[in-house]
Amino acid sequence: MMKTKLVVFVLFALTVNLIAQPKKDEPRTTRILFILDGSQSMLTEWESGTKMTVAQELLSDLVDSLADLSHVEMALRVYGHQKPVPPQDCNDTKLEVPFSKK
């Protein structure tokens, strides 16, 4: 009787362990939030153009390099672009592109 209980317990423990493991075929979703400074300071010159132009080109390259990954979702939040200067408002932020796969 004790041996039967032990066998049932071991089989139960193994079954629960197999059920509890995540599927390895499905990668977990990775979410990346890009944050872009949209304030007036981005209009100043830097290297090959304005800071905004350089940031846009870099962001575009990053998004293009991640676009083929099915488990990656991206979003874009911009700050400093809705309120006049001055005053600079810390609440001046907007999720311009919500999370999506592409």
Q: Is residue 49 part of a domain?
A: yes
* Residue 94 within any structural domain of the chain: yes
11 lies in a domain? no
Residue 101 confidence (pLDDT)? 65
Quick check: is 81 in a domain? yes
DSSP letter string, 41-102:
GGGSEETTEEHHHHHHHHHHHHHHHHTT-TTEEEEEEEESSSS-SSSP-TT-EEEEEEEE--
* CATH at 35: 3.40.50.410
Neighbours of 74 (CB within 10 A): 21
pLDDT of residue 81: 87
Identify whether 70 is part of a domain: yes
> Does the residue 59 lie in any domain?
yes
φ, ψ of residue 25 to 5 degrees: the values are: -75, -25
Domain holding 69, by residue range, is: 25-100
Q: Running along the chain, 102 residues long, what does each successive block of 10 average in pLDDT?
A: 62 63 74 92 89 93 91 92 76 90 61
pLDDT, residue 27, reads 77
